[in-house]
Amino acid sequence: MDTQITNILSKKEMREKLLKPDYLSGSEILLRSLLLEGVDCVFGYPGGSVLYIYDAMHGNKDFRHLLTRHEQGAIHAADGYARATGKVGVCIATSGPGATNLITGIATAYTDSVPLVIITGNVPTSVIGTDAFQEADIIGITMPITKHSYQVRDVKDLSTVIREAFHIASTGRKGPVLIDIPKDVSADKTTFIYPEEINIRGYHSTIEPNRQQVEKLLGAVQEAERPVILAGAGVVHSGAHYELIEFVNKTQIPVATTLLGLDGFPSAHDLWIGMPGMHGTYTANTAIQNCDLLISIGARFDDRVTMNLKGFAPQAKIAHIDIDPAEIGKNIKTQIPCVGDIKSVLTLANSLAKPAQSEAWIEETSEKKRKFPLKYKDDDQVLKPQYVIEMIHETTKGEAIITTDVGQHQMWAAQFYKFNHPRSLITSGGLGTMGFGFPSAIGAQIGNPDRLVISINGDGGMQMCAQELAICAIHNIPVKVVIINNQVLGMVRQWQEIIYEERYSQIDLAGSPDFVKLAEAYGVKGLRAQTKEEAQLVWKEALETPGPVVIDFVVPKNETVLPMVLQGKTLSEMIMEE
């Protein structure tokens, strides 16, 4: 108790110190403002236009900065930090190429509604628009992939802009906000005043739902005989994990979770029916196709979930709960819209909810789960990738934070790792960004220093940001880096096999490095396994090693992710494992 009081007092004293109206440079104002926003780590890479900012960091013991080895690594790390903690992730880059190297990461965060504040330097205001050295119109370039953007032309505006940026990034439908700071603005001085409250004209999110719409939804639930809930990332973003469990228990509705919603509902729950879509379970896909009420909760009806829209949920009345009204009716005609924060909507719904008429339906879906489980052809002679994921799940009991890159391994992780808690799956869903998996794990680990963080990657995506192994070694960041190494671009190979009649083109990753030697070159332990026995031994060693470890699991080239629904087909037309 005494320690708690001491910590509260020290935080209060620190805040009072930071709020002092001192005469500061723009760079000092930036650092103070970030600390006042509760930022405990910034990921970045310096350059000419941000040198005043980096100079202000020198000797500032309260400010933590992690120097990545590429700007893409910085923004993916900030993204992983944000997804794993629920806080706003922050990264810094210089002007021109530094800023443009962030674009893929900004688009990744924008598509998946991740709260980031991105700080870029720019050339001095006097030469903006003259094609000065390392000048790029980062505001114009990123306008379609940010929630909002600022270019600060006067140092007096900087503290207010930072306050607004954090508010916009973290409220409503969350997303990335960019602050562009010309070099002279970072050097100019003014009296620091940090606004405690802000009011942004025209920016108002609908948090509390319309009660009549919620009652209409609950009326449909009571009438339904074959209802299904489609739960997406919005459940996690809203912190509505427990409210969803309560809603499911009260209404007795089976739940399918999207890729980004997998950690929003416990896989062990009796009413969980799996992930739907292109590589979804038989039970989830057939349930959606045969349901009479489909309730989307924080899911945006992505095309990889719906597949052929004309044949999606043909018998269902559609209800859609979302904080972003623009998503409702965008892809699927909706009969019952509920705009509001999901936690608020479900809290109201739970106070009124009654069970659906779903006893027979639950029995039917449960029977399908038993009859059509996810499976693969195991082989004692070779190491199967699905076996590796199952082994990781069994040894961690679903308690780890899992990050993935993009491709076959991502789908195997989604299928064979079972999640217990929200913010346990960090993956690029909407954009499908290769190179995301490993640096996002660094951010997740920084945000959760006491959790086990495992990054599952393909041998292709791992090579896009492998240089960030350096900071794992330097700072002893204990991420366990799993490589599912099939020596090809696996998902591309699978499509070429099934859709393009085995015309394999430009998928061979021969010449990739020896990942064990690569890890050792950075000062990180490297291990390899090619059989089940070796896999069990090296994975045990990895878990017992206190620092970072790279584990190269060598698997067959020709393994496919099944089930699979081809583009243009409906969820009823699945290619199944024999």
- Which sequence positions are flagged as catalytic? 71, 133-134, 183, 491
* DSSP labels, 54-121: HHHHTT-TT--EEE-SSHHHHHHHHHHHHHHHSS-EEEEE-STHHHHTTHHHHHHHHHTT--EEEEEE
Three-state DSSP at 271 gives: coil
Residue reference for tokens 């990461």: 105
Give the separation between CA 154 and CA 134, rounded to whole angstroms. Answer: 21
| Rounded alpha-carbon distances, angstroms, from residue 174 to 113, 323, 441 | 5, 10, 20
Given a contact cutoff of 8 angstroms between Cβ atoms, the answer to whether 462 and 436 are in contact is no
CB count, 10 Å around CB of 310?
A: 8
Give the separation between CA 18 and CA 11, rounded to whole angstroms. Answer: 10
Instruction: Extract the tokens encoding 392.
Output: 């990781």
CA–chain centroid gap for 413, Å, is 14
- 495-523 per-residue burial string, b: 16 or more CB within 10 A, e: under 16: bbeeeeeeeeeebebeebeebbebbeebe
Nearest to 33 by CA among 95, 25, 43, 171: 25
Give the separation between CA 158 and CA 52, rounded to whole angstroms. Answer: 15
Beta strands across the sheet bearing 480-485? 425-426, 401-404, 453-458, 480-485, 549-554, 525-529
Three-state DSSP at 361 gives: helix
Three-state DSSP at 528 gives: strand
| Rounded alpha-carbon distances, angstroms, from residue 545 to 396, 401, 417, 554 | 15, 17, 22, 21
> Rounded to the nearest 5 degrees, what angle is found at the Cα of 499, between the Cα atoms of 417 and 386?
20
**SS3 per residue for 112-161:** CCCCEEEEEEECCHHHCCCCCCCCCCHHHHHHHHCCEEEECCCHHHHHHH
Q: Report DSSP state, residue 45.
A: E
Give the separation between CA 188 and CA 25, rounded to whole angstroms. Answer: 5
Q: Which amino acid is at 141?
A: I
Instruction: Extract the tokens encoding 321.
Output: 């709960």
Given a contact cutoff of 8 angstroms between Cβ atoms, the answer to whether 465 and 433 are in contact is no
Given a contact cutoff of 8 angstroms between Cβ atoms, the answer to whether 292 and 227 are in contact is yes
Long-range contacts, stretch 562-566, CB < 8 angstroms, 24+ apart: 562/279, 562/376, 563/279, 563/280, 563/281, 563/282, 563/285, 564/278, 564/279, 564/494, 564/498, 565/277, 565/278, 565/279, 565/280, 565/285, 565/307, 566/498, 566/499
Given a contact cutoff of 8 angstroms between Cβ atoms, the answer to whether 468 and 450 are in contact is no
DSSP-assigned beta bridge partners for residue 564: 575
Three-state DSSP at 394 gives: helix
